[in-house]
Structure 1
């Protein structure tokens, strides 16, 4: 089982230390969320910085709200990050749900799904080295990974699962316990087979964690409540925060049992000592 870390967003200045420590440890991936109208670091710029501070660990957006990004620029940024990281970049991608993000980006929130579908067509063209459009030549650089970086789709709607079969390499499921995520994973596999894709989709689960003294857990809960305030379900999300080694180990085991290839532990507190606590809880031989 691969274990990744979702990076905290409340103090970007600490993220280089987080990345270096994680790169030296047993973790497989560093993930970073995306929002426009919020006090979080821009993920592609941040992950490019972290790529230069690491040599082994993968770098992942989870998830990038693609519709609020300019498509041609996104294609270039993602390919550049794939090159800079030596092929270690995974583009976790989704439509988002915040109206203020869409207003700030100047897009219609009601058309964001259709916009993402068109973006995926253009990203694929660009990463294969083909002209971007009429009167527009190819946009480089070519990514290190043939055909472009790994793409995981996140979301809850059937359209998100459908996109895995049409465009992606796998699915990133967040905010659901294993007993509910099981059904989504099976739906992804069904769509994958319907599109006659070779092999199997990569299945990644995300769970919110905070491991440490009470004040660390409380700090994480405050950040999480603020981030999810727009959903009207912030209290429910905070209730799902795992804060003991036993509960985290159980969640990893349960996600493994339903076929997850990786579990991302999203850390809502910037306390870097969580890295050692999580490693001790999950990697007894490390």
Structure 2
């Protein structure tokens, strides 16, 4: 199982240092979440900067709110990032569900699913070099047909999109109820007669003891819309983090992303150490 790191959103200017140090520590990827009506960096722009600051580590969105964007512009942005990073980009997408994001984009919340289905078909068309609608849109991505595509979500419609459009599933659910979601995705994958199995990328929130309080406050603010106290609280005990990493390895995750809400990059090395301990035990 590979280990990635989800980057904090509070201080965009520090993200190149985070990416360089994550690469040096052996993390497989760096990832960024997406909001519109929130104080966070735009992920495609930020990851483009990080592509230039690194040479090996992969770059992921988890998840990009695709229906808030223009299909043609998104296809061009993604292909450019994939091309200029040497094929290191993975596009994780979701529909989102927050009224303020959709209102800011001028996209009706009730139309997001239909917009997503149309976009996913059209993105592949554009990346193949076919006209859209009457002329090709370049550049061609480094990865033929477009970069790896992951879909995140919890609703049945979101899960069904994985087998129809994607290469894998982004599972942000806690491990205790992730199993049902993953089984649904795998069953639909088999029913669609797709070869192999979908790639499974899971997520947890993590912090070091030194950054735990800041991370707890930041995560609480981010998840306040849920109305659930403690939702998304980071794991900060290194032994518990190692055990959790081991549990995800046993679960069959292909990659586990440790999301950080504390902004101190000094936590990268101890998080890497705890993750290695869990992976070696898993």
Aligned to 1:110: 110
Query: Which whole-Å CA distance do the structure 1 matches of 2:271 and 2:204 have between them?
Result: 13
Q: Deviations over 1:143-190 (max 9, x none)?
A: 01011011110110011111100000000111x322211221111111
CA contact (8 A) 1:26 1:283 kept: no
Aligned to 1:23: 23
1:1-286 matches, cutoff 5 A:
1-133=1-133, 136-174=134-172, 176-213=173-210, 216-233=211-228, 235-238=229-232, 240-283=233-276
Moved over 4 A (4+): none
Query: Which whole-Å CA distance do the structure 2 matches of 1:256 and 1:180 have between them?
Result: 16
CA contact (8 A) 2:220 2:230 kept: no
CA contact (8 A) 1:212 1:277 kept: no
Q: Give 5+ residue unaligned stretches, structure 2.
A: none
CA contact (8 A) 2:245 2:256 kept: yes
Q: Deviations over 1:89-123 (max 9, x none)?
A: 00010000111111111111011011100010110
What displacement does 1:237 show? Answer: 1.3
Q: Give 5+ residue unaligned stretches, structure 1.
A: none
Q: What TM-score results when the alignment is normalised by the length of structure 2?
A: 0.96
What displacement does 1:236 show? Answer: 3.3
Q: Once superposed, what is the RMSD of the aligned Cα atoms?
A: 1.4
2:61 counterpart SS class? strand
Q: Deviations over 1:192-236 (max 9, x none)?
A: 1111111211001100111132xx211111111111112222x23
Query: Which whole-Å CA distance do the structure 1 matches of 2:116 and 2:150 have between them?
Result: 13
Give the count of matched residue pairs. Answer: 279
Query: Which whole-Å CA distance do the structure 2 matches of 1:209 and 1:279 have between them?
Result: 11
Query: Which whole-Å CA distance do the structure 1 matches of 2:174 and 2:65 have between them?
Result: 23
2:59 counterpart SS class? strand
CA contact (8 A) 1:211 1:277 kept: yes
Query: Which whole-Å CA distance do the structure 2 matches of 1:96 and 1:282 have between them?
Result: 29
1:4 counterpart SS class? strand
Query: Which whole-Å CA distance do the structure 2 matches of 1:279 and 1:255 have between them?
Result: 15
2:231 counterpart SS class? helix
